[in-house]
Amino acid sequence: MKKWGWLATFCLLLAMGCRHAQLPVLPVGGDFALTDFNNQTFHLASLRGKAVLIFFGYTSCPDVCPTTLSKLSSVYKRLGDDASRVKTLYITVDPQRDTPTVLKEDLGSFHVDALGLTGTKAEIDRVVGLYGASYEIVPTPDSEAKYTVAHSTTLYALDAQGRTRILFPYEATVEEIVRGLRTIFESDS
């Protein structure tokens, strides 16, 4: 019986180790500094100890960005008590229009623990490059909008050590994002 007890313990530990090994550290990301929607310098490193979701968008985006933010509202609701373990960073790719005031005002309408980030074009481009994201200003002179911004839609999930662990596609469901975050929480514990 003693032998079987040790074997069961070994298998349990192996299974726990295997589950953590299924979540690799991805070769994108890294620390950065931008300006938050309170007009303060923000360092990603300040969020150590929390999981982080990063999304690149812009507040004049009528469709993709509000859809993602609405989805994240549902994610936070589904996380319940664990909602405080994850912070969302909304990095604008339209710093010309998305001032800190605009970011704060518009993000406040979603039930997401989100911090809006902006900066100079060079600062934002650096972060875009670090995370392998992309964006392009597209002039639309015949439209009331004057220009629109094409942008990648990947949602990046970082662990409490600031390492990128999951890349959620735009089509990821609320359930998939919640499950992924819980896996990250477990890998941090």
Identified binder of other proteins from the candidate list 37, 55, 90, 135, rule CB under 8 A: 135
Contact 183, 79 (CB under 8 A): no
Residues 6+ away with beta carbon under 8 Å from 29: 130, 131, 156, 158, 162, 163, 164
How many residues of this chain interact with other proteins, rule: CB under 8 A?
51
Candidate segments 6-14, 32-40, 76-84, 147-155, binder of other proteins by CB under 8 A = 147-155
Query: Binding marks (x or -) toward other proteins, 9..38, rule CB under 8 A?
Result: -------------xxx-xxx----------
Q: Does 169 bind other proteins (CB under 8 A)?
A: yes
Three-state SS string over 158-176 comes to: ECCCCCEEEEECCCCCHHH
| Closer Cβ to other proteins, 85 or 147, answer by number | 147
Please tell me what DSSP assigns to residue 133: -
Q: Which helix (H) or strand (E) holds 117?
A: strand 114-118
Overall size of the chain counted in residues: 189
Q: Does 81 bind other proteins (CB under 8 A)?
A: no
Q: By the criterion CB under 8 A, which residues form the site for other proteins?
A: 22-24, 26-28, 59-64, 66-67, 101-102, 105-106, 108-109, 131-136, 138, 140, 142-145, 148-154, 156, 165-171, 176, 179-180, 183
